[in-house]
Amino acid sequence: MQPDQPSNSAPNWRIALLIDADNVSHTKVAAMLAELSKYGTANIRRAYGDWASTGLKGWKTKLHDFAIRPIQQFSYSTGKNATDIALVIDAMELLYTQDLDAF
């Protein structure tokens, strides 16, 4: 979705950043937010994962540093990706309840 913008100004989109922390390195957060800032503001920032997992240990300081809200998703069974489903459900809720321009 692209809101109307004057051709001489940068967009000022309202952006929801939803991160599958199980599949994205914490080292990429600064670059992601820098890229998004070219288009607008990521007002909604969430990262999904099992935060008790040792694999997400590096994310913990990044969450605080970049004001990203951690969404706990327990891994109840092997081979199932509950994190993806939780992220998609939240994305659909935000789509219908928030006035956002981009995800």
Single pTM value for the model: 0.84
Strand order in the sheet with 69-72: 13-20, 40-49, 69-72
Looking at residue 80, its pLDDT comes to 67
Q: Give CA–CA dist 36/16, Å, rounded.
A: 10
pLDDT in tens, the chain (103 residues): 455 554 556 689 999 999 999 899 999 999 999 999 999 999 999 999 999 889 899 999 999 999 999 999 887 766 668 888 899 999 999 999 999 999 9
Between the alpha carbon of residue 60 and those of residues 10, 20, 66, 70, the distances in Å are 32, 14, 10, 9
